[in-house]
Amino acid sequence: MSASQPGDIPTIRVKPNPAFFWAHHENSWSVYVVDGKSVLLPEFKPKARVAGCGNMRVKPEGAPDSHQYQHALAGDSAAGWTWMDPTDPIPSEFCPPGTDGSEGYVATYDCLHPKTGTRGVYHTLIWDQPRRTAPGSPTRWGMHWESYNRWRLWLVETGVITQPPEYVHADRIALAETHRKRAINLTGLGDKARDERIEQAEKALEIAKTAVVPGDEEASEPAGLTSASATTDRRSSLVATIEALEDTLADEVTVPIRVELGLKATTSPSRKSISLKKLESWRKALQSAEKSDG
């Protein structure tokens, strides 16, 4: 994705940045509401592809790209991190409107540094999109949270991201309770403002308490499909989803990064358990759709 053509002056005014991997640590989760349901979703952070940063290495001429990041990836994997392969396509149902995720989760824009005028490339997520700003002003960005949260939910449901340790949910509840107590003890605010803070904190606490771990709830159909819309398109979507999940469970199908590094290629037992559970639920949904159409 590019904001300008070669030779044009870029309209995106932002400081250029390096390419990155999107990475999740097993303890990093937050509570979100997705489709009216409170769920725990994985949080991510960028791992910049810069030599000398986070154990990234200089890639010698002629060496494979993995030479730059293999040491960083190996160390992070042992410490509980999961790196997302930036070349994996993002299913269209998890992309913002008008966005193509066929080339992965990273979007690139030709840009101008807002202060120095230096040309460069800005790397960001496909869900983080530029907003219309006044000419000459730094570009503002907005996150399409709806599709991004659906994507994160899907990652856990399909076993790409392993479910969180049991203590994570308790920690989220404890944090929300702490915020509620702070709101109650606030001073220097008018009664109305204080009551609003308390109400917000109590609502957040309730959402945290009712949050579920994706994959633990009752078997459900893929996002966007309802039992009332048993059509040919629906069956096709279910078949495609099932086939994709079956492929990820095959021992010979692996994440390209892991194959390139020679790391353990097979899906972990815990991830297989989650994926098999979801696979079975979607097979049942397909059978139900076929019966409805019959």
pLDDT in tens, 104-141: 999 999 999 999 989 999 999 999 999 988 888 899 99
Q: What is the pLDDT of residue 95?
A: 95
Judged by DSSP in three states, 139 sits in: coil
Name the percent of the chain lying above pLDDT 90: 55
Give the integer Cα–Cα distance in Å for 253 and 273: 17
Phi/psi at 49 (nearest 5 deg)? -90, 70
Q: pLDDT digit string (tens) for 55-113?
A: 899 988 888 888 889 999 999 999 999 999 999 999 999 999 989 899 999 999 999 99
User: Where is 155: in which H helix or E strand?
Assistant: helix 145-157
Is 218 a residue whose pLDDT tops 80?
A: no
Is 259 a residue whose pLDDT tops 80?
A: no
Q: Which two tokens stand for residue 190?
A: 């008018």
Q: What is the pLDDT of residue 11?
A: 81
Is 253 a residue whose pLDDT tops 50?
A: no
Q: What is the pLDDT of residue 292?
A: 56
Q: pLDDT digit string (tens) for 17-33?
A: 999 999 999 999 999 99
Is 54 a residue whose pLDDT tops 90?
A: no
pTM above 0.75, yes or no: no
Q: What is the pLDDT of residue 61?
A: 87
Q: Is residue 260 within 8 Å of residue 66, measured between CB atoms? A: yes
Give me the mean pLDDT over the 156-177 stretch: 93
Q: What is the pLDDT of residue 227?
A: 31
**Residue 119: C-alpha distances to residues 5, 7, 111, 138, 233 (Å):** 13, 11, 6, 14, 45
Q: What is the pLDDT of residue 245?
A: 55
Query: Going by C-beta distance under 8 Å and a sequence separation of 6 or more, which residues neighbour residue 253?
Result: 247
